[in-house]
Amino acid sequence: MDDTITIVDYNPDWVILFEKERILLKTIFEDFIDIQHIGSTSIYGLEAKPIIDIMLGVSELTLVDKKQINMLELNGYEYRGEAGIPNRLFFRKGIPRTHHLHVVKYKSDFWLEHLLFRDYLRAFPKVAEEYGRLKKRLVLKYSDDRGKYTEGKGPFINEVLEKAKMWMKERGDVTVQ
């Protein structure tokens, strides 16, 4: 499978693709708490890899059973276990990839940080533009190395998360640690 990283202009169809998948996931997971569109495709105007990132929150990962995994596989998902991130069940779909599904405990650190990052970029378009420029620079250097591409985004993401935590505290959001 071609694993070359490609960044494309924002596509308004990404919202529609997420909604279609959300409907499917609601039929497979009866005990989910929430389903969120995360990642760059969830931020209006942001360039992104054309992969819809979906985060599904459950009360406990142990509630995800073989039947649900089989249903996802019948609908084109490949189960990848934790895929290097503890306390996450990861699934990917499509050749080339079209969707990533992250099943995590609702309100876990993974859950909160991904929503915080997304919401901050949505609220501050200039920061989102800066992120887009960074991703374009990184893909020029590391289009064939997903690990280095992801690693290159790390410092920016961490800096934004710190700013976002301060922003949420200033707004009086008590869910931020």
Is there a domain that residue 72 lies in?
Answer: yes
Per-residue pLDDT at 1 exceeds 70: no
Q: What is the CA radius of gyration of the chain?
A: 16
Can you tell me which residue has the tokens 């405990």? 105
Whole-model pTM: value is 0.93
Instruction: Give, in order, the Cα–Cα distances in Å from 37 to each of 1, 2, 77, 148, 171.
Output: 25, 25, 17, 24, 23
Of residues 173 and 123, which shows the higher confidence score? 123
pLDDT for 151 equals 96
Task: Kindly state whether residue 1 falls inside one of the protein's structural domains.
Answer: no
Share of the chain above pLDDT 90, in %: 90
| Domain-located, residue 3 | no
Residue 58 is assigned to a structural domain of this protein: yes
Q: What is the pLDDT of residues 74-108, one digit of tens each?
A: 999 999 999 999 999 999 999 999 999 999 999 99
**What mean pLDDT comes out for the span 122-139?**
97
Total number of domains in the chain: 1
Order of all β-strands in the sheet with 77-79: 32-38, 52-58, 99-105, 88-93, 77-79
For the cut 60, the answer to whether the pLDDT of residue 177 exceeds it is no
Tell me which residue range forms the domain holding 123.
Answer: 13-170
Within-domain flag for 6: no
Does 4 map to a domain?
no
* Domain membership flag for residue 105: yes
Q: Which helix (H) or strand (E) holds 154?
A: helix 146-170
pLDDT for the residue numbered 2: 56
Asked if 35 and 52 touch (Cβ cutoff 8 Å), the reply is no
Check which CATH number belongs to the domain holding 60 and give it: 3.30.460.10
Cα separation, 169 vs 161, in Å, equals: 12
140 belongs to a structural domain: yes
The conformational region for residue 39 under phi > 0 = left, psi -120 to 50 = alpha, else beta, is: left
